[in-house]
Structure 1
Amino acid sequence: MNERELLAQPPESYMSEPQRAFFKQLLETQREELSCQIDSEFQALRTLEYSADAADIATREEQRQWQLRQLERQKKLIDKLDAALDRLAQGTYGWCEETGEPIGIARLLLRPTATLCIEAKQRQEQRERHVRQD
């Protein structure tokens, strides 16, 4: 099944076995690709050349810090992918954690780790904006 076929299915087939299989494959593929990317970036960090020039050292350290922040973000995404795979195994994947409503195929295709339907996500963002303004 591809994305077009997935989007063309009727609403009553939401989170049917073929749809769950599609998302399981998608999540596992994203996780594997991200794991390989993280491994590759860690290897690159380990093989950085050293220099006696202070400017080169500072530039390299800044680049290293940026790469470490990227790796942290990627690790958090792996954790989200693992959590999504767990929800899939438990049968709760695709359902909003706040309302119990379907998250929607289109939203899951854009963000396979989504845990909130669009309305609940908008409410969460409004609450966060309100808290920041106080």
Structure 2
Amino acid sequence: MDEKALLAMDQADYMNAEQLAFFDARLLELRQETLDEIEASKVDINYERVSDVSDRATLEEEAQLALRLADRKRQLIPKIDKARQRIRQGDYGYCIESGEPIGLARLLIRPTAEYSTDIKNINEKRERRYEDKR
């Protein structure tokens, strides 16, 4: 099944076995791509010795950026695993707060989504208000 066929399915078919299999495969692929990207970023970090101070500073800055990016990607792995666990439990595709469907379009963009768009917006507004009060 491809994205077009998935989106063409009837609303009554939401999170049927075929859709769950589609998203499980997509999450598995995303997990492997993420692991590959983490490995590639480790290889890209250049630890060669450079005598020039400015060249060394540039290399250290690039290495720090690569490590930060790899760490961000590493944080995605547990989210992918958690989403796959929700598939096995039958909870995938539904907001963990409201129980409402998250929606196929949102899941195609962000297969690890746990919240519907409405709940996510409400939570982000709460976070901003909390940060503003600090």
Shorter-chain TM-score tier: over 0.9
Residue by residue over 1:10-51, the C-alpha shift from the partner in whole angstroms, topping out at 9 and shown as x without a partner, is 111010000001001100001111111111211222x53221
Q: How many angstroms apart in 1 are the aligned matches of 2:36 and 2:100?
A: 34
Equivalent in the alignment of 1:79: 78
Return the letter of the residue paired with 1:81. Answer: I
Say whether 1:30 aligns with 2:30.
Answer: yes
What's the Cα RMSD here?
1.0
Superposed, 1:33-72 pairs within 5 Å as: 33-45=33-45, 47-72=46-71
CA shift, 1:91, in A, is 1.2
TM-score by length of 1: 0.95
Q: How many angstroms apart in 2 are the aligned matches of 1:89 and 1:48?
A: 43
CA shift, 1:112, in A, is 0.4
Equivalent in the alignment of 2:121: 122
Structure 1 gaps, min length 5: none
TM-score by length of 2: 0.95
Give the 4+ runs in structure 1 shifted more than 2 A.
Answer: none
- Percent identity at matched positions? 42
Return the letter of the residue paired with 1:22. Answer: F
